């Protein structure tokens, strides 16, 4: 029996989805698939009734390589685990590399809340399991007792999957109980998917002695694929051979013939997972593991007639037709969306255009696109296990019940801005936004009813990610252009602008002064003793002196002045809206900095510098060259006076 330890009770989880409700985190892959969808719906419904939020962290199994899967697995790192009041794991769905290990590591490091694993046992946590050891008992017994079959072939899952062996052992046990020999040639390992069925059928048909009366498949996807593979070879089900599956996915009812299968009580599993968390938080004792039973569905693929409800068949057929039409329309719209977003280069443009495409996610109630504040910088994440929950987030796009929400910034640990959350319990699906391994942020979507997003949502998100990458590339190109422009007009030694900037930025300042009918200030400076310093102390000493002059100019400039090294020992400053008082303040700061250098520096040389300046009321006739000429003349007069006094001495 497990009893909740009050000392380990979580701190209510109110920093995540801050609407005064505790939050249960659910971790899953491919949330849109039937089993995951039904389970997440049941979890959401039960959590709502008990007053919990649900945050479902989902990803997609991708064929995009290692980088893609790294980013997809990082959905496990966007949250603060200590803010959760409970965790529900769907480990047998987690096909994305490292996803499961990241979650378990984070739970062990940061969380003390109840953890429940569904359909796959994890020793240190609570579990909701199906009795896999007996799941196929009734179907195999049905083939043997009702149909009198003895030639039973078995297609199980991958060899490294424990469920594959559990279901295979059931097959062997039942055959042994009935005295039917176990022939290894009748047993093949598959993939729990659609790819292995044709190969299995080919192998069995190649050996006429092993032609089966029935093929028992360890799941429904393989059963349907076996039926198709047999049909391609002119072998009809159930006329020539019977077929059965396991899991009771929705399509088994509509396949021709309908598949005999065994179904999990998925809704009961979701409900039990939530209730196990609730009982532990309430301090109610319970067993570590809850076991639920399968339900067997005998249908036509085994050779039995299935009673049909005409009204139900009619409704299902119309529903399927509607779904196919909607899927075709969504594929077309997603393709158009991809084309339309290709040319997007600015975030504002993307935000506006998304308003035209959110409707593709039918039934949604609210949608949020949240980006990390540094998302568009071209820097790789330093490690794959990076913690995204410590970052700042900007909600760039938000829609709630048809209304667009104002952009807002918030701490990533909150996941969503609290000002936009409803007071009643919420359910949100979270997905990572990324390009290859670089993660930009995440999306959150909720629905009017308890449902998951459709499979088309992956394509929709991919379009958004591609648009974000375009924006990022455009921003980086602009930064590079600005940097190149900056380099082309910057002096490498001092960091001041160079002579090229004098004619570009200086001209802009003149035009600004003309428009504003204000004064333009030009300041000129020339070192008197740079050659002497270079000759005696080397160019290292000369560089120190030049940098000191540049620093003095920058310190004196407090109003967006342009500080320029024209070349050699010549300097200039251009400023706007200057008068005599402001000029004197500039001169005092500049000359004071030079005096301090001469007093404090550890070199034997001192800096001597001649200066001149002009303040001109700019008009249409004013030229930059004239203003520079006035300042230069004053500077040369000062330089001449210094030399004359020096010769007089």
What pLDDT was estimated at residue 14? Answer: 47
Give all domains of the chain, ordered by start, each with its CATH number: 136-245 (3.40.50.2300), 491-648 (3.30.70.270)
What pLDDT was estimated at residue 146? Answer: 96
Confidence of residue 325 (pLDDT cuts 50, 70, 90): low
Decide if pLDDT at 414 tops 70: yes
Decide if pLDDT at 178 tops 90: yes
Report the percentage of the chain scoring pLDDT > 90: 62
Query: What mean pLDDT is predicted for residues 415-444?
Result: 92
> Is residue 513 within 8 Å of 618, Cβ to Cβ?
yes
Decide if pLDDT at 486 tops 80: no
Decide if pLDDT at 328 tops 70: no
Confidence of residue 316 (pLDDT cuts 50, 70, 90): low
Q: Report helix angle 580-600 to 530-556, nearest 10.
A: 130
pLDDT tens digit string along 105-146?
999 999 999 999 999 999 999 999 988 788 999 999 999 999
Q: CA angle, 569 as apex, 566 and 574 as ends, to 5°?
A: 40
Decide if pLDDT at 383 tops 60: no
Query: What mean pLDDT is predicted for residues 438-465?
Result: 87
Task: Tell the residue number behind the tokens 């007792």, with chain if given.
Answer: 145
Decide if pLDDT at 33 tops 80: yes
Distances (CA, A) of 589 to 312, 495, 592: 89, 19, 5
Whole-angstrom distance, CA of residue 487 vs CA of residue 492: 8
What pLDDT was estimated at residue 1? Answer: 35
Decide if pLDDT at 185 tops 90: yes
Decide if pLDDT at 646 tops 80: no
Q: Sign of the CA dihedral 221, 227, 229, 231?
A: negative
What pLDDT was estimated at residue 323? Answer: 64
Average pLDDT of the chain, as a whole number? 88
Among the listed residues 464, 444, 476, the one whose alpha carbon sits nearest the alpha carbon of residue 376: 476
Q: Sign of the CA dihedral 37, 42, 45, 51?
A: negative
Q: Where are the beta strands (DSSP E) in 354-462?
A: 364-372, 392-400, 403-404, 408-411, 427-435, 438-447
Higher-confidence position of 593 and 649: 593
Decide if pLDDT at 484 tops 80: no
What pLDDT was estimated at residue 458? Answer: 85
What pLDDT was estimated at residue 271? Answer: 97
Higher-confidence position of 479 and 416: 416
Whole-angstrom distance, CA of residue 218 vs CA of residue 192: 7
Task: Tell the residue number behind the tokens 């000129």, with chain if given.
Answer: 524
pLDDT tens digit string along 547-580?
999 999 999 998 889 999 999 999 999 999 999 9
What pLDDT was estimated at residue 8? Answer: 38
What pLDDT was estimated at residue 202? Answer: 93
Which stretch of DSSP H or E encloses residue 529? none
Whole-angstrom distance, CA of residue 190 vs CA of residue 217: 9
pLDDT tens digit string along 139-160?
999 999 999 999 999 999 999 8
Strands 403-404 and 392-400: antiparallel
What pLDDT was estimated at residue 307? Answer: 63
Whole-angstrom distance, CA of residue 392 vs CA of residue 398: 17
Phi, psi of 168 (to 5 degrees): -65, -40
pLDDT tens digit string along 262-302?
998 999 999 999 999 999 999 999 999 999 988 899 999 99
pTM over 0.85: no
Q: CA angle, 465 as apex, 460 and 468 as ends, to 5°?
A: 130
What pLDDT was estimated at residue 233? Answer: 94
Q: What is the DSSP string of 168-211?
A: HHHHHHHHHHTT----GGGEEE--SSSSSHHHHHHHHHT-GGG-
Higher-confidence position of 44 and 250: 44
Among the listed residues 85, 89, 81, 70, the one whose alpha carbon sits nearest the alpha carbon of residue 29: 89
What pLDDT was estimated at residue 274? Answer: 98
Confidence of residue 454 (pLDDT cuts 50, 70, 90): confident
Query: What mean pLDDT is predicted for residues 395-421?
Result: 91
Decide if pLDDT at 321 tops 80: no
Decide if pLDDT at 477 tops 90: no
Q: Which residues contact 472 (CB under 8 A, 6 or more apart)?
A: 375, 376, 378, 435, 440
- What is the SS3 assignment for 621? coil
Decide if pLDDT at 618 tops 70: yes
């Amino acid at each position: 029996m497990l009893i909740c330890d009050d000392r380990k009770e979580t701190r209510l989880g109110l920093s995540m989805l801050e609407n005064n409700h505790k939050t249960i985190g659910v971790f899953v892959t491919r949330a849109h698939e039937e089993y995951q969808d039904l389970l997440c719906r049941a979890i959401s419904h039960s959590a709502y009734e008990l007053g919990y939020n649900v945050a479902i962290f989902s990803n997609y199994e991708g064929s995009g390589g290692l980088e893609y899967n790294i980013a997809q697995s990082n959905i496990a790192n966007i949250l603060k685990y200590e803010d959760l009041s409970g965790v529900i794991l769907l480990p047998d769905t987690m096909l994305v590399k490292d996803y499961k290990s990241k979650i378990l590591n984070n739970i062990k490091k940061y969380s003390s809340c109840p953890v429940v694993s569904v359909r796959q046992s994890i020793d240190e946590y609570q579990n909701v399991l199906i009795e896999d050891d007996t799941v196929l008992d009734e179907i195999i017994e049905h083939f043997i007792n009702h149909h009198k079959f003895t030639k039973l072939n078995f297609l199980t899952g991958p060899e490294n999957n424990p469920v594959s062996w559990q279901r295979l052992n059931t097959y062997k046990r039942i055959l042994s109980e009935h005295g039917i020999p176990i022939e290894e040639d009748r047993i093949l390992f598959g993939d729990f998917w659609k790819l292995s069925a044709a190969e299995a059928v080919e192998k069995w048909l190649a050996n006429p002695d092993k032609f089966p009366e029935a093929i028992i498949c360890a799941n429904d996807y393989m059963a349907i694929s076996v039926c198709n593979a047999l049909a391609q070879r002119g072998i009809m089900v159930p006329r020539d051979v019977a077929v059965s599956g396991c899991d009771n996915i929705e399509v088994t009812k509509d396949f021709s013939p309908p598949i005999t299968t065994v179904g999990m009580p998925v809704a009961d599993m979701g409900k039990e997972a939530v209730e196990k968390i609730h009982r532990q938080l309430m301090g109610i004792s319970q067993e570590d593991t809850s076991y639920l039973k399968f339900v067997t569905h005998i249908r036509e693929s085994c050779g039995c007639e299935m009673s049909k409800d005409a009204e139900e068949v009619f409704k299902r057929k119309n529903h399927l037709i509607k779904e196919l039409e909607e899927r075709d329309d969504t594929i077309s719209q997603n393709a158009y969306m991809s084309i339309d977003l290709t040319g997007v280069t600015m975030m504002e443009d993307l935000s506006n255009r998304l308003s035209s495409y959110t409707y593709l996610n039918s039934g949604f109630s609210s949608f949020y696109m949240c980006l990390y504040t540094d998302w568009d910088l071209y820097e790789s994440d330093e490690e794959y296990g990076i913690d995204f929950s410590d970052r700042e987030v900007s909600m760039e796009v938000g829609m709630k019940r048809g209304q667009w929400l104002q952009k807002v910034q918030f701490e990533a640990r909150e996941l969503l801005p609290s000002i936009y959350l409803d007071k009643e319990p919420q359910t949100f699906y979270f997905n990572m936004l990324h390009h290859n391994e670089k993660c930009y942020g995440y999306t959150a979507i909720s629905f009017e009813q308890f449902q998951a997003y459709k499979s088309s949502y992956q394509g929709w998100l991919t379009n958004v990610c591609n648009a974000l990458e375009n924006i990022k590339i455009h921003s980086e190109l602009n930064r590079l252009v600005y940097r190149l422009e900056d380099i082309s007009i910057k002096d490498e030694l001092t960091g001041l602008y160079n002579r090229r900037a004098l004619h570009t930025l200086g001209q802009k300042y003149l035009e600004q002064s003309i428009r504003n009918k204000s004064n333009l200030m030009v300041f000129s400076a020339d070192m008197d003793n740079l050659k002497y310093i270079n000759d005696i102390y080397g160019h290292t000493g000369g560089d120190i002196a030049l940098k000191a002059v540049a620093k003095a100019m920058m310190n004196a400039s407090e109003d967006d002045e342009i500080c320029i090294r024209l070349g050699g020992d010549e300097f200039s400053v251009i400023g706007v809206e200057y008068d005599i008082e402001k000029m004197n303040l500039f001169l005092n700061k500049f000359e004071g900095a030079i005096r301090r250098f001469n007093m404090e520096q550890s070199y034997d040389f001192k800096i001597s510098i001649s200066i001149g300046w002009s303040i001109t009321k700019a008009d249409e006739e004013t030229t930059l060259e004239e203003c520079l000429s006035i300042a230069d003349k004053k500077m040369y007069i000062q330089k001449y006076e210094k030399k004359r006094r020096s010769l007089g001495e």
